[in-house]
Structure 1
Amino acid sequence: MENNNNAGDTLHPPAAKHDGAAAQANPLSPTRHAKAEEDRKKEEAAASTPTSLEKLAQEIDQFVRRLKTDGNAHNFEIPDFAERYLDLVEEKIMKYDAGEGKPRWGEVSEEDSWLLNNANRFSKLMTLVTGNYPDHEPEKISGAQVSMMNRISSIHQRLMTYLEEDFRFLIEESRIPTELDPGGYNQNSIDTKGKQHMTASEQQQEVAQEQDGLEQDTNFPGYSEETIASLSKIASEMLFGGYESECCQVYIISRRNAFEEINQKLALEKISIDEMVTKVQWETMARDMIPAWINTLKQYAAVYFPGERKLTEAVFANNQAVAAGLFSSLSRGVVIQLLNFAEGAAMTKRAGEKLFKLLDMYESLCQVISNVARLFPDESVEEIKTEMNLAKSRLGEASIHIFCDLENQIKSETAKSAVPGGAVHPLTRYIMNYLSIAGDYKETLEQVFREHTKRDRSGSTSKNAEQKNEGSWDKETPSPFAKQTLRVMDLLDSSLEGKARLYKEVALSNFFMMNNGRYILQKIKSSKEMSKVMGDNWIRKKSSDLRNYHKNYQRETWNRVLQCLNHEGLTVNGKVHKPVLKERFKSFNSLFDEIHKTQSSWVVKDEQLQSELRVSISAVIIPAYRSFVARFAQTFDPGRQTEKYIKYQAEDIETYIDELFEGKPHQSIGKRRT
């Protein structure tokens, strides 16, 4: 646009001169007389009318003010200078159209002001003109008045079209691309290993710090103050002029595209619930999509939604109701997309490995619901909170179903072959490692079970099992999650007892229970949170059970060895009965060789338990053997007879005991010595 305040001086057509000769030729003609009178009036009006666009605009403003003051005016006459004003405005618009066809907002500030001022002026004209010409009495409106009204409407529409183009140009082309961190939350917020040594308050503090850092580092929504001020001026005039729908549509489309750009940069795919359930592999979802979802959700809550609200409130500063509606519409669309993803994840086929990813999503929703809800206007806040809580419930219910399915996994493990060497059973490792990680989510699982457990949950254990559980339940942890965990542990114990009966040797059966029980206890004690869940009573009872299994193993294995070293029955009338002594040494050598060969292949991976077992065995056997040899060795003739029956020194016995429980079958001691 160009500033041409004197355009009216050159563009206004000259006034028609009065044709006196023609009038005299036929002075009786009423038509000619009327025309002459009209021409005379036009000449007088032209002589008294300002000719510059600026002066004409001032006159129009005065005319508008007078009409506005006289609110009851009807059928008023639009002054003749208004037509000249419209001519000059249209010529100005034609010059504006003659440009390159692109919005030129900001190139010349005077042109921007002219467009805004005239848009405002014509909006007022439209309001007053349409308001003072009654629609129910069209016969009272002359053709000239209709033509004038149509011209005002046409120019008003063209001015609003220019404002709309400028608004679109500013909001789309002036936005500074937002720099995003696609992995902003991936490492700390959703890494289960990182949770193991963090309390819930520490996790919340970490999230708050991450959000503060994001607010400081992210340039959003990416418009300069000058641009926002211009957008606000244009929006104000468009809304005042009755073009609210057009302005809002441009804003919504542009900002929706900006949000889509954010989603793409944050690696959040736009995918339907059906596609998630039927097409997407869980590995892909867990590795890529869920971390991206959590990252996106938290960044929206911390930065993008607050930023979008500030932007709408600034752009539509003169109409906060419109601003609230726009923000609600835009943000709700993004929220629904995020919630659809959460519901899709919750609806996928349930499996044990999915629990902790679903809990990560559940935690993320819990953290942002209140913050997001506060941003929405009162009329829509309840709806959005309902939607978010519904998605949270779906995740919670799916998590409960998966955790409770541990019962079925234990029940369905019906292997008929014993684990070699009495080792820790794979089921034990799986369940305990699962519960160990669950301990990192204790507070979340407590909340999930408390808020989302259904009374008549299918797949629950029998009444007898519940009564059994009540006997071992620490009353300090009477939560639904603790009850369910204890049910799982009771079932695991029962399953292990059944698997222990697969071993033919009683010693190995007890060894198996001791080995697995030790693994279970260590896993519980190594998790502060799971120790709280199980309670001190359970830990004491489990420790007592382990001591009993240990004693039973010792009795079944090493008591037989000790019987060989018993002094009773070896002397008759004060003399050693040599044949019996020989048989005792032979029995000891054979039995110890057999135990060494067999139990070297038994497996204890827990180094502490392995050491404790060896020490306890040595503490029983070595002193007894050393005493037996010291008491009866001189009975044999020195040389070959002694070597034949006393094959081992006490130090040899200790060395061989230290070879037990490595899971590696050793060659027979006797063969090694020959």
Structure 2
Amino acid sequence: MEKSPAPENDSDEIKDAVASPHSPTVDASPPEVLQEPPEAEENEVVEDSNAEEPDLTLPQVWEEIDAFLGRNSDSPRDGGESNSDSDPIEIPRAVELLSKNVESMIDKYALDAGRSKFGHDPEEDSCFFGSVGRLSKLADKIGDLKPTAENANVLRSSSLNRTSSVLQQAMSFLEEEFRAILDEDSKTGRDDSDPKSAKTKHSSSFNNCCSQESDRCNLPEPEPPSTEEEFQQFTPETISVMSKIADAMICAGYETECCVLWMMMRRRAFKSALSERGFDVLSIDDVQRMQWDSLEREIATWIAAVKRCSTILIPGEGALSGSVFSGQPEIAQDLYGNLARSVSIRLLDFAEAVVLTQRSAEKLFKFLDMYETLQDLIAAVDGSKQYPDDPKKKEVRAEMMAVKGRIGEAAVSIFCQLESSIKSDSSKVPVPSGAVHPLTRYTMNYLEYACEYKDTLEQVFQQHHDKAVVETANGEPTDDADSSAMKASPFSVQLLTVMDLLDANLDMKSKLYKDPSLRYIFLMNNGRYIVQKIKGSSKIHELMGDTWCRRRSSDLRQYHKNYQRETWYRLLQCLNHEGLQVNGKVSKPVLKERFKSFNAMFDDIHKTQSTWVVNDEQLQSELRVSISAVVTPAYRSFLGRFNQYLDPGRQSEKYIKYQPEDIESLVDELFDGNPTSMGRRRT
């Protein structure tokens, strides 16, 4: 590995000290370390040259080292001019003293029982990194020197050999400290909330929605990361320390070790964070075997994990790598790209496994939740200013887009299966009492729920469902204002198709009723339920359009008229004046028969239709009011005109069973679903 030149790490204090030889020492090591005479077993040159020289302070040691490095900058790769092979090389005793200084400081740091060795004494840390930086430069320069007859002994000196040994010792120490700092982050600051027990953005089960008519439950959106969360649990001081360690290791030629350690520890930190939030890696087989209730909880956990990554990984981790490796922007970009890809692949693999599961109607909304979550993640990637030209970032985004597309395709497929479910519902058993059919309730709740994802569904249908022509129920193209908007909205087209299929199915089911009146009650119940659902949801109403709603309201009025005709207009025939007079006089037998027929028919209608159900209070009230408005005035008029022709007493009581007020009271008992015993009601 080619070693890059080391940047200066001198603090202002050290620079001042070097500039002034009379400045006090900032050496954090014990004085005797610098005063100890160097070993001379193998280096006569160093021993002789240092015999009578005074002790050196650390700034003086640095000054000599810097001067030595400057005099021997003869490596072609450094741009220097190579000295003559016969030039003698003089190794200053500062080289040995520098190695001893670094060893001493490492030993002193090792005595610290705390987890973090740095940060307690900034001046001491600055001295250490300054010494290590010069040590790595010495190792580079010594390695570049060419051995000659004159300098062979010098290059074999123990002082120079120890330089590499001490540098390796320093790198091992820094690597362990780097690991300790990164490992501390992976064990702190975890969120104890259990996303598996919480709901995602929407309610957890569509089946519950259909059975209970419940509204959607909204999970609060995750709060944006605070300043403290920007770099996970790292303080600015810790980041500064890590940056110095990274610079020192890279400049010393330990770039691979530094980067491998960083990637290993950051991946571990994210894996730990995701595990703490309940997200664990599941194989495709695990997902395939999972029951929907369990998989639904796993999806909720996945959504929470992805949202966390979109708010922490994208902005925070990129900034973290950029700060720690600020002196090596290319390395920072590469590390961030690798980490983002590693974490993203774990999350995307789960999403792809979910897409491969068997599709069913209740899965639509979780699929849409996943689609929206990935969409937010992609937006976070696009909005990140970190490393805009990083090819790995673009690769990760492309993979996210591909998975999002597969989820969108699955969502379209699931929604279109609603057509098949309506077509296949061919039950031959009519719903008792003409109530709202379960198919109507299911379909409308499903559509209402789906339209809460209106924008997302329009997007996925636009991308994955091609339908160019808007057609009405009879297959003829429309040219009204609503159709113009729907031509640009394939989802609107699909919605209208579903509604047309539902209408056709309900019309077929209405024919299962032998009583024509009940048939129209059934159609009114279901039609009113549909209209009320659409009017109650602005989003589905927007998709269906005003023209469709007006047409449906017109259909309901026609059903109402048909019901009146089949039931009450027949009853009114009993109150017809025609045929009552014979030779200019009212025929009592005919009159008595008319009253008897009216009473019998009204009793039968009341007995039957009081068991029928109209759950919509407004429709129930409209029906009762319209019936009373038709029957009561006609009966009051008939009774007022002809009751005088019946003999008072038993004859009158026998044929005049109801007073007009009784008729009104009995009409108010219709459509309650509870039969009422008929009794004589007289005023």
TM-score normalised by structure 2 residue count: 0.83
Amino acid of the residue matched to residue 33 of structure 2? A
Map residues 379-394 of structure 1 onto 2, 5 A cutoff.
379-394=391-406
Change (3 A) 1:357 1:280: same
Alpha-carbon separation, structure 2, partners of 1:14 and 1:151 = 13
Amino acid of the residue matched to residue 356 of structure 2? M
Change (3 A) 1:658 1:218: farther
Alpha-carbon separation, structure 2, partners of 1:161 and 1:667 = 97
Of residues 163-172 and 565-574 in structure 1, the stretch that sits farther from structure 2 once superposed is 163-172
Pair 1:648 & 2:648 matched: no
SS at match of 2:484: coil
* Partner of residue 144, structure 2: 131
Alpha-carbon separation, structure 2, partners of 1:505 and 1:175 = 73
* Partner of residue 336, structure 1: 345
* Partner of residue 588, structure 2: 578
Change (3 A) 1:84 1:611: closer
Of residues 83-92 and 516-525 in structure 1, the stretch that sits farther from structure 2 once superposed is 83-92
Change (3 A) 1:433 1:42: closer
Alpha-carbon separation, structure 2, partners of 1:590 and 1:321 = 96
* Partner of residue 467, structure 1: 475
Change (3 A) 1:233 1:656: same
Alpha-carbon separation, structure 1, partners of 2:264 and 2:571 = 87
* Partner of residue 571, structure 2: 561
SS at match of 1:542: helix
Change (3 A) 1:401 1:146: farther
Gaps of 5+ in 2: 1-26, 75-79, 210-215
SS at match of 2:226: helix
Change (3 A) 1:568 1:139: farther
1:436–1:530 contact (8 Å) kept in structure 2: yes
2:195–2:301 contact (8 Å) kept in structure 1: no
Change (3 A) 1:214 1:7: closer
Pair 1:450 & 2:450 matched: no
Pair 1:62 & 2:67 matched: yes
SS at match of 1:177: coil
* Partner of residue 263, structure 2: 252
Alpha-carbon separation, structure 1, partners of 2:47 and 2:231 = 60
Map residues 415-564 of structure 1 onto 2, 5 A cutoff.
415-453=427-465, 467=475, 470=478, 474-478=483-487, 479-564=489-574
Alpha-carbon separation, structure 1, partners of 2:506 and 2:565 = 21
Of residues 121-130 and 175-184 in structure 1, the stretch that sits farther from structure 2 once superposed is 175-184
Alpha-carbon separation, structure 1, partners of 2:438 and 2:534 = 17
* Partner of residue 9, structure 1: 35
Map residues 81-92 of structure 1 onto 2, 5 A cutoff.
81=92, 84-85=96-97, 88=100, 92=104
1:474–1:538 contact (8 Å) kept in structure 2: no
Alpha-carbon separation, structure 2, partners of 1:259 and 1:174 = 10
* Partner of residue 634, structure 2: 624
Alpha-carbon separation, structure 2, partners of 1:370 and 1:253 = 27
Amino acid of the residue matched to residue 225 of structure 1? P
Q: 1:222 aligns with which of 215, 233, 236?
A: 233
SS at match of 2:525: helix
Q: 2:649 aligns with which of 639, 651, 662?
A: 639
CA displacement, residues 314-368 of structure 1 (integer Å, 9 cap, x when unaligned) = 1111111111122222222222222223223322221111111221222222233
Change (3 A) 1:466 1:356: farther
2:61–2:98 contact (8 Å) kept in structure 1: no
* Partner of residue 284, structure 1: 294
Amino acid of the residue matched to residue 45 of structure 1? S
Higher helix share: 1
Map residues 404-415 of structure 1 onto 2, 5 A cutoff.
404-415=416-427
CA displacement, residues 160-216 of structure 1 (integer Å, 9 cap, x when unaligned) = 1111122222333378933647479967843599xx9xxxxxx9xx99x95665436
Map residues 188-199 of structure 1 onto 2, 5 A cutoff.
189-191=201-203
Change (3 A) 1:607 1:44: closer
Shift of 1:496: 0.9
Shift of 1:308: 1.6
Alpha-carbon separation, structure 1, partners of 2:46 and 2:665 = 130
1:600–1:661 contact (8 Å) kept in structure 2: yes
Alpha-carbon separation, structure 2, partners of 1:216 and 1:151 = 45
Q: 2:610 aligns with which of 581, 600, 622?
A: 600
Change (3 A) 1:353 1:188: closer
* Partner of residue 305, structure 2: 296
Q: 2:320 aligns with which of 293, 311, 323?
A: 311
Alpha-carbon separation, structure 2, partners of 1:146 and 1:374 = 57
CA displacement, residues 551-589 of structure 1 (integer Å, 9 cap, x when unaligned) = 111111111100001111101233111111111111111
Shift of 1:110: 5.3
1:359–1:396 contact (8 Å) kept in structure 2: yes
* Partner of residue 262, structure 1: 273
Pair 1:327 & 2:336 matched: yes
1:343–1:391 contact (8 Å) kept in structure 2: yes
SS at match of 2:189: coil
Alpha-carbon separation, structure 2, partners of 1:403 and 1:175 = 42
Change (3 A) 1:471 1:498: farther
Shift of 1:61: 2.6
* Partner of residue 3, structure 2: none
SS at match of 1:215: coil
Change (3 A) 1:292 1:140: farther
1:601–1:663 contact (8 Å) kept in structure 2: yes
Shift of 1:273: 3.4
Amino acid of the residue matched to residue 145 of structure 1? L
Change (3 A) 1:2 1:608: same
Alpha-carbon separation, structure 1, partners of 2:535 and 2:615 = 17
Gaps of 5+ in 1: 17-37, 197-202
Amino acid of the residue matched to residue 666 of structure 1? T
Alpha-carbon separation, structure 1, partners of 2:146 and 2:506 = 94
Alignment root-mean-square deviation, CA: 3.6
Shift of 1:467: 1.7
Alpha-carbon separation, structure 2, partners of 1:641 and 1:98 = 120
TM-score normalised by structure 1 residue count: 0.84
2:364–2:411 contact (8 Å) kept in structure 1: yes
Identity %: 44
1:184–1:295 contact (8 Å) kept in structure 2: yes
Alpha-carbon separation, structure 2, partners of 1:217 and 1:115 = 29
In the alignment of these two chains, the number of paired residues is 630
1:442–1:529 contact (8 Å) kept in structure 2: yes
1:469–1:486 contact (8 Å) kept in structure 2: no
Shift of 1:64: 0.9
Shift of 1:613: 0.6
Shift of 1:81: 4.0
Amino acid of the residue matched to residue 616 of structure 1? S
2:106–2:170 contact (8 Å) kept in structure 1: no
1:633–1:642 contact (8 Å) kept in structure 2: yes
CA displacement, residues 299-321 of structure 1 (integer Å, 9 cap, x when unaligned) = 32223432222221111111111
Alpha-carbon separation, structure 1, partners of 2:427 and 2:514 = 16
CA displacement, residues 127-157 of structure 1 (integer Å, 9 cap, x when unaligned) = 22223339xxx99994763566654332221
1:57–1:85 contact (8 Å) kept in structure 2: no
Change (3 A) 1:267 1:220: farther
